Structure 1
Amino acid sequence: MAKRVKVVLNEDILSLGKDGDLVEVAPGYARNFLLPYDKALPVTPAVLKQVEHRRAKQAELEASLKQEAIDFQTALVTIGRFTVKKQIGEDEVLFGTVTNGDVAEAIEEATKKEIDRRNITVPEIHRTGKYKVQVKLHSEVTAEINLEVLSY
């Protein structure tokens, strides 16, 4: 009997791998759990061809998403400056602070494209003035934008 069996996963399994991965498992694990519950397929030339096709499609999708992020980064740099208006008190001190949600709204107003506020890194801003803000557009693409904080 074989010591290990090769299978292709149909879904993500926490300690084993991700969907589409080729893994070696114990024959009993494959026979009693993975194969009956359609969590994996036995390795055949046709299945390997499908896996390669799926990986090529995924790589193509990743490349297009990265290019889209680079294009949006260029658009953000072209715009130049984004403004956020806040209420101020004495000595140009803001009531509250400028949050990443405020920056996301300013970007959305200017570009008509929604950005997740969790991908925006804002320095501590408690006064009016000009600041640099980091916006993560893709795992490999980050834009640095100029933010101007003004009073009402």
Structure 2
Amino acid sequence: MTVILKKNLANLGSIGNIVKVSSGYAFNYLIPHDFAQLATQGRLKHHRMFLNIKQKKLDEIQDKLQFMAQKFNQIPKISVKKKVGNNNQIFGSVNDKEIMTKLFYITGEKLDKKNIYLPNIKTLGIYNLNIIFTSDVRISIKLQILPFFV
């Protein structure tokens, strides 16, 4: 008997999977506990329709991320000015908000804080700034910390 899973089950699969099980298991356990529903023609068609819609949305998001990655790849370097003390050590630190505003000013694209990975910056110099959109789409930009004189 074929059923569509409504919940994640360790031994069968995850939500939305179509699996074959024995009729006793389906009627005595899965369906009464609302873990699955019978896979009729209409439900299978409905399930495929939702899978297609979900895939289209994922493709649109992937295309947008690729477009954003192309914009960010055109940036060779970002410069940030900070107050410095002895031994070229900066006062405070470089934070995500500064980087996000610089990148927004350059590209017009807004980033989330979770996409930016900054190294621990304490002195002047050039660092690698990593921007990770997904596991496939990663960008590395040079971040230059310059002295700011009052």
Q: Name the TM-score class by shorter chain.
A: 0.7 to 0.9
Give the aligned partner of residue 120 of structure 2: 124
- The answer as to whether partners of 2:115 and 2:132 remain within 8 angstroms in 1 is yes
* Match for residue 39 of structure 2 among 22, 37, 43: 43
Moved more, 78-87 or 128-137: 78-87
Sequence identity of aligned pairs in percent?
27
SS across alignment from 2:90: coil
Give the aligned partner of residue 103 of structure 1: 99
- The answer as to whether partners of 1:81 and 1:148 remain within 8 angstroms in 2 is yes
Moved more, 85-94 or 30-39: 30-39
- TM-score in terms of structure 1 length: 0.75
Quote the RMSD (CA, aligned, Å): 2.7
Gaps of 5+ in 1: none
One-letter code aligned to 1:125: I
Q: What is the rounded CA distance, in whole Å, between the counterparts of 1:72 and 1:113 in structure 2?
A: 7
Q: How many residues align?
A: 147
- TM-score in terms of structure 2 length: 0.75
SS across alignment from 2:93: coil
* Match for residue 114 of structure 1 among 110, 114, 118: 110
One-letter code aligned to 2:62: K
Gaps of 5+ in 2: none
One-letter code aligned to 2:99: V
Is 1:13–2:8 an aligned residue pair?
A: yes
Give the aligned partner of residue 134 of structure 1: 130
Give the aligned partner of residue 69 of structure 1: 65
Q: What is the rounded CA distance, in whole Å, between the counterparts of 1:29 and 1:102 in structure 2?
A: 57
